[in-house]
């Protein structure tokens, strides 16, 4: 009987840390996968912007500064660091420039009636929805992973194998405020 208890305890001492380690690896990989989904949607939006800018350039009276702001924000987003905070900052600037851009487009009836512009606007709107969903999925994955990294007994395995906490994708202050539109 004593030998069986020893075997069960030995098995538990080996198996439990392995199961915890595997769970942490799965959750870390889920975070990486969720980040990849955000990255895909951000790149999709970046690829749509040149077509949008070209469509609008035909309207000579359209605010050139707004176009330049969109182009600058796109270029910044393309070169942003591949971290949650770096991408969040670049994404915030690009989202703000696009909000301003679409708000100003309301003053141009010919532009608003242009089929290419409307299609691109719809594509960007759909992409924004996908980005919001991907952010939520990523933040949920980060929450589950970080909870595991900091919870007992997995914190013991996490610290032993250097599992680091992940950053959430958070809205910046600029994204929390509505754009100011002046004509």
pLDDT digits (tens, 9 = 90+) for 34-84: 999 999 999 999 999 998 888 887 775 677 888 888 889 999 998 888 888
Instruction: Work out the burial of residue 56: count CB atoms within 10 Å of its CB; fewer than 13 is exposed, 13-18 middle, 19 or more buried.
Output: buried
Does the pTM surpass 0.85? The reply is no
The confidence score (pLDDT) of residue 183 equals: 38
Provide φ and ψ at 58, rounded to 5°: -70, -15
Which CATH entry fits the domain spanning 25-176: 1.20.1440.20, 3.40.50.2300, 3.30.70.3280, 3.90.226.10? 1.20.1440.20
Annotate 96-126 with DSSP letters as a single string.
Answer: HHHHHHHHHHTT-HHHHH-HHHHHHHHHHHH
Judge whether residue 178 has pLDDT over 60: no
Domain ranges for the chain, please list them.
Answer: 25-176
């Amino acid at each position: 009987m004593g030998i069986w208890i020893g075997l069960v305890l030995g098995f538990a001492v080996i198996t439990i840390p392995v199961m915890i380690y595997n769970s942490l690896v799965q959750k870390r990989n889920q975070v990486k996968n969720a980040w990849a989904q955000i990255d895909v949607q951000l790149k999709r939006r970046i690829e749509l912007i040149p077509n949008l800018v070209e469509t609008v350039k035909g309207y000579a009276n359209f605010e050139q500064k707004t176009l330049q702001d969109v182009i600058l924000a796109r270029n910044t987003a393309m070169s942003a660091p591949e971290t949650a905070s770096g991408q969040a900052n670049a994404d915030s600037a690009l989202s703000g420039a696009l909000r301003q851009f679409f708000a100003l487009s309301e003053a141009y009836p010919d532009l608003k009636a242009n089929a290419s512009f409307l299609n691109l606007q719809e594509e960007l709107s759909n992409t924004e929805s996908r980005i919001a969903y991907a952010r939520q999925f990523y933040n949920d994955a980060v929450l589950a992973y970080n909870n595991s990294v900091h919870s007992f007994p997995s914190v013991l395995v996490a610290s032993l194998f250097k599992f680091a906490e992940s950053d959430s994708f958070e809205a910046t202050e600029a994204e929390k405020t509505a754009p100011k539109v002046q004509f």
